[in-house]
Amino acid sequence: EDKVVQSPLSLVVHEGDTVTLNCSYEVTNFRSLLWYKQEKKAPTFLFMLTSSGIEKKSGRLSSILDKKELFSILNITATQTGDSAVYLCAAQPSSGTYKYIFGTGTRLKVLA
Amino acid sequence: NAGVTQTPKFQVLKTGQSMTLQCAQDMNHNSMYWYRQDPGMGLRLIYYSASEGTTDKGEVPNGYNVSRLNKREFSLRLESAAPSQTSVYFCASTGDSSQPQHFGDGTRLSIL
């Protein structure tokens, strides 16, 4: 059965800290892994990773995929209170399928 | 710049009542999805439509029906609501399977 597991479930840090969120996956014929940020409403897209070892970066956020060990990490440096959200990871099985398997998310709270 | 629009935003139903959740996207996307999000469960796929004229079951389709009315609109129907269907429902769309999904703001549905 395809599955995605995120850890930790929740995390509380202070502004300025660096955090690492983890996502491990088991999917049939893996194609891509996606990260989303969910504040109060709609999840918003952060990164899509398809190649192992290539870091994607956007400002203070970065992510990398390890296809051999079947996991991805999302790093946030110099955290701000605006980073407080639930971070979702999703894996997509092989091409030609439109299904995405989501993890349960990591709830991050950044204290001022 | 509407993106994915869901209506209604909130709804309270009594057990046994029927309800249709509406979703429309203005990005000319081919694929559309319905998810439910419950505490500790992440996003679970109910139904999806890979392209206009097609629909397929996801992980948790029981108790739901869908209609892909045209390329823009994808509705989710609860024929006889049950308390177990209390959840937040998200609609999403994507251009093709190589692109990330865009989500609507969700419909919070309570069934008493």
* B40 closest CB neighbour out of A44, A99, A104: A104
* E strands in chain B: 4-7, 10-13, 19-25, 31-38, 42-49, 56-57, 64-68, 74-78, 87-94, 102-103, 107-111
For chain A, 112 residues long, give each residue's pLDDT as a single digit of tens: 889 999 999 999 999 999 999 999 998 888 899 999 999 889 999 999 987 878 899 999 999 999 889 999 999 999 999 999 999 999 988 765 677 899 999 999 999 9
Distance from CA of A83 to the nearest CA of B (A): 19
Q: Which residues of A touch B35 (CB under 8 A)?
A: 102
Q: How many residues does chain A have?
A: 112
Model pLDDT for residues B32-55, shown as the tens digit of each residue: 999 999 988 889 999 999 888 899
B97, two tokens = 């399977």
Give the integer Cα–Cα distance in Å for A94 and A50.
11
Q: Which of B31, B43, B48 sits opposite A102 (nearest CB)?
A: B43
Q: How far apart are CA B112 and CA B97, in angstroms?
A: 37
Give the separation between CA A72 and CA A66, rounded to whole angstroms: 6
Residue A51, chain B, CB below 8 Å: the answer is no
